[in-house]
Amino acid sequence: MDEIILTGIKPTGTPHIGNYFGAIKPALELAEKHENSFYFIADYHSLNTVKTAEELKTHTYEVAATWLACGLNPDKVVFYKQSDIPEVFELMWILCNVTPKGLMNRAHAYKAAVQKNNEEGLDPDAGVNMGLYNYPILMAADILLFNTNLVPVGQDQKQHVEMAKEIARYFNNKYGETFVVPKEYIRESVKVVPGLDGRKMSKSYNNAIEIFAPQNELKKKIFSIVTDSSLPSDPKPTDHMLLELYKLFADPCEVAELTDKFKAGIGWGEVKKIAFEKVNEILTPLREKFNEIYSNKAMIDDILKQGAERARKLAKDTLLKVRKAIGAQE
């Protein structure tokens, strides 16, 4: 049987091109290789950072429309919303009862919060709620409920999959072989996409280029990228972020041609024009598709509902197995 792949996407903001090249595109390519792929919008995972109901709704629709516009085929994968799968949350509570507190104490996000509080002279747990603390257990429930074999993650998320493995083993050791023990699928080649200031593109740095930014806004952002005062005839550094940005969208021949111009001499204004035109050429059809899908909330709701119905069939089977294992059901 083909391995089961599971990917969660948090609706915490409008996706940018760093998200596209770092997570969305690689995940979609992986889905082409595996028939049993599960993609879910992790809306309950986002409650620690999303502050209002309206914000959560908006970001959920944005993320759903983004993945659909970028090529996710809901007929070939199971695409659903986490909050539509009540079995996840029942399983989470069951897993809480086999998970040692010490394991949660070692979670990176919790340790970082405690360290920050200690440095500021605050109580170690100031501002820490149980959502943050129990986050890895909810993620374990997301993974284990669907007999997941592989979880594609970046290096920074590896610990969460390792914790899911540990929790599965704790349960299996206590109640018998029940869960598939998952493996992380580390995307070693994840691209670090430069932001407008040269640092890694991130919403928190306010240096992101949104995937579906209107053409005028896209042009404004690319033309705002800082350059030096060299003359057009002067060679340009081939590690400049404008060329790095261009490489993400252009084919190898186009990249080679612009690289030669960098070495021979080219004006920064012309570079920005070339970069903008190429980025806009690639993003325009995605932007148009996104706008079309996003404007049809009823269609998105229907796709997610159908996905949830498919997901719950497996979820119910797994939970029944778990309930029998713990003695809650004959």
Residue 12: what pLDDT?
81
Q: Are residues 167 and 275 in the same domain?
A: no
Tell me the torsion sign for CA atoms 171, 81, 135, 155: positive
Q: Are residues 171 and 246 in the same domain?
A: no
Q: Is residue 229 part of a domain?
A: yes
In angstroms, the CA 168 to CA 150 distance is 14
Residue 154: what pLDDT?
74
Q: Are residues 88 and 188 in the same domain?
A: yes
Q: Are residues 246 and 100 in the same domain?
A: no
Q: Which pLDDT tens digits describe the chain residue by residue (330 residues)?
A: 578 999 998 898 788 988 888 888 888 888 888 889 999 999 999 998 888 999 999 999 999 999 999 999 999 999 999 999 999 999 999 999 999 999 999 999 999 999 999 999 999 999 999 999 999 999 999 999 999 999 988 777 789 999 999 999 999 999 999 999 999 887 665 567 888 888 888 877 888 899 999 999 999 999 999 899 999 999 999 989 899 999 999 999 999 999 999 999 999 999 999 999 999 999 999 999 999 999 999 999 999 999 999 999 999 999 999 999 999 988
- Domain of residue 147, CATH code: 3.40.50.620
Residue 185: what pLDDT?
84
Number of domains in the chain: 2
In angstroms, the CA 14 to CA 213 distance is 10
What's the angle, vertex CA 136, arms to CA 9 and CA 113, rounded to 5?
100
In the chain, the amino acid numbered 78 is V
Q: Are residues 63 and 175 in the same domain?
A: yes
Q: Is residue 311 part of a domain?
A: yes
Residue 187: what pLDDT?
66
Q: Is residue 139 part of a domain?
A: yes
Range of the domain at 246: 212-291
Q: Are residues 267 and 182 in the same domain?
A: no
Q: Is residue 220 part of a domain?
A: yes
Q: Is residue 95 part of a domain?
A: yes
DSSP state for residue 82 in the 8-state scheme = G
Q: Are residues 138 and 253 in the same domain?
A: no
Whole-prediction pTM: 0.88
Residue 281: what pLDDT?
96
Q: Are residues 300 and 286 in the same domain?
A: no
DSSP state for residue 76 in the 8-state scheme = T
Q: Are residues 138 and 251 in the same domain?
A: no
Q: Is residue 205 part of a domain?
A: no
Q: Are residues 251 and 270 in the same domain?
A: yes
Q: Are residues 188 and 258 in the same domain?
A: no
In angstroms, the CA 147 to CA 4 distance is 7
Residue 189: what pLDDT?
54
Q: Are residues 218 and 313 in the same domain?
A: no
